[in-house]
C-alpha cells in the first residue's frame, strides 16, 4: 500500500519532500532581487521622468513640465517542465523512491531558479542591458538627460573598493540629473562568487585597515555579504542597494508538481512545470559592479 500513488498520504509526503529539496538550496540570492509574481503575459518596467526641479512661481498659471516616458524594459517569461516516470515495481522494490525522487526534483527546481537569476549578473558588463540607454547594467557611460554617469569600478575587492562604491552611491544622480544619495536610502548587499568570500570578509569584517589602526569605514555600513556559488567569474563583485535593486526576478507561474498513475504502464508520473524570467531594470540605479 505504501507505493500506491493514489493514496492521499503518499501525495502529501511527495509534496513535503519536494519542498524539503527546494529549501535545501540557498535562496539568499533572492534578497538582492526585485522579486515579482505578476500573473500577466509579459512584464513591462516603465520608468517615468521629466520633473528635474520646481521653478519659482510668480503667480498666474503654474509653470508646466511634461513627464517623459522612457523606453520600457520588456521581460518575457520562459517555461520549464519535466516528467519523471517510476516503474510500478521499481517503486515497490525501492519504496524510498516516493520520497527521495520528489526531493531531488525540488533541489533541481531551486537550482534552476538560481541559475536563471545568475545569468543577469553574468551579463552585467555585457549582454544584460538597460532599456533606457542600451548600455550594460554596469557601465562607465550610462546616458542621462544632461550627460553620463558611471556605476562600474576597475578595482579588485577590498575595503578601499567598497568605499569607492559607497562614494559612487553618495554622488549618484538620477536620469534627470537630480542628486540621489542611495546610501541614505538603506543598506546594501555585497554579492560575490565563492572565490571572493575571503576578500569580502577581510573588506567588511575587520575593524581597522592597517597596522596603523585606521578605522575600516567599509565595515560600518552593515553590508550583508551573499556568497553565490552560481556566479562563475572569480573576480566580479557587486554592491546592490536593498531599497532599489535593478535586478529583476519574475516568477510568472510557481512550481506545479503533479503525481499520477499512467493508465497503460501503471508507472508513477511526477510532472513538474513552472515559468520564470530574470532581467535588469530599465535604469541602472541601485548597483555598482566591478570586474576586479
pLDDT at 211: 57
Confidence of residue 137 (pLDDT cuts 50, 70, 90): very high
**What pLDDT digit, counting tens, does each position of 243-266 carry?**
999 999 999 999 999 988 888 888
180-196 exposure pattern, b = at least 16 Cβ within 10 A, e = fewer: bebbeeeebbbbbbebb
Q: Is the pTM higher than 0.85?
A: yes
Beta strands in 110-236 (DSSP E): 142-143, 148-149, 152-153, 188-192, 224-227
Q: What domains sit in the chain, N to C, each tagged with a CATH number?
A: 8-47+72-290 (3.90.1690)
3-class SS shares of the chain: helix, strand, coil, % to 5? 30, 25, 45
pLDDT at 1: 28
Confidence of residue 167 (pLDDT cuts 50, 70, 90): very high
Residues in the chain: 292
* DSSP sequence for 88-109: HHHHHH-TTHHHHHHHHHHHHH
Whether residue 86 has pLDDT greater than 80 = yes
The beta-carbon contacts of 4-7 under 8 Å, at least 24 apart in sequence, are 5/91, 5/98, 5/259, 5/260, 5/261, 5/268, 6/261
Top pLDDT among 252 and 65 is at 252
**How does the average pLDDT of the chain come out, rounded?**
90
Inter-residue contact 196 to 181 (CB < 8 Å): no
Amino acid at each position: 500500500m505504501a507505493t500506491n500513488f493514489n493514496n492521499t498520504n503518499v501525495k502529501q509526503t511527495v509534496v513535503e519532500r519536494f519542498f524539503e529539496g527546494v529549501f535545501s538550496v540557498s535562496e539568499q540570492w533572492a534578497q538582492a532581487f526585485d522579486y515579482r509574481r505578476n500573473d500577466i503575459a509579459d512584464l513591462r518596467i516603465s520608468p517615468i521622468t521629466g520633473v528635474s526641479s520646481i521653478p519659482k512661481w510668480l503667480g498666474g498659471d503654474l509653470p508646466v513640465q511634461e513627464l517623459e516616458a522612457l523606453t520600457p524594459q520588456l521581460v518575457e517569461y520562459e517555461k520549464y517542465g519535466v516528467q519523471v516516470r517510476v516503474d510500478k515495481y521499481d517503486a515497490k522494490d525501492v519504496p524510498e523512491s516516493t520520497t527521495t525522487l520528489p526531493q531531488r526534483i525540488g533541489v533541481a527546481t531551486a537550482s534552476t531558479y538560481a541559475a536563471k537569476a545568475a545569468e543577469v549578473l553574468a551579463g552585467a558588463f555585457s549582454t544584460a542591458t538597460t532599456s533606457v540607454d542600451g548600455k550594460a547594467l554596469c557601465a562607465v557611460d550610462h546616458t542621462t538627460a544632461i550627460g553620463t554617469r558611471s556605476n562600474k569600478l576597475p578595482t579588485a575587492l577590498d575595503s578601499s573598493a567598497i568605499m569607492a562604491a559607497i562614494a559612487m552611491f553618495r554622488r549618484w544622480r538620477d536620469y534627470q540629473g537630480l542628486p540621489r544619495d542611495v546610501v541614505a536610502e538603506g543598506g546594501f548587499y555585497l554579492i560575490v562568487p565563492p572565490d571572493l568570500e575571503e576578500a569580502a570578509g577581510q573588506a567588511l569584517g575587520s575593524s581597522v585597515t592597517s597596522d596603523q589602526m585606521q578605522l575600516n569605514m567599509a565595515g560600518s555600513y552593515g553590508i550583508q555579504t551573499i556568497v553565490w556559488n552560481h556566479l562563475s567569474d572569480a573576480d566580479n563583485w557587486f554592491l546592490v542597494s536593498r531599497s532599489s535593486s535593478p535586478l529583476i526576478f519574475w516568477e510568472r507561474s510557481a512550481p506545479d508538481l503533479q503525481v499520477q498513475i499512467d493508465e497503460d504502464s501503471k508507472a508513477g508520473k511526477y510532472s513538474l512545470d513552472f515559468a520564470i524570467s530574470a532581467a535588469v531594470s530599465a535604469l541602472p540605479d541601485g548597483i555598482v559592479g566591478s570586474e576586479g
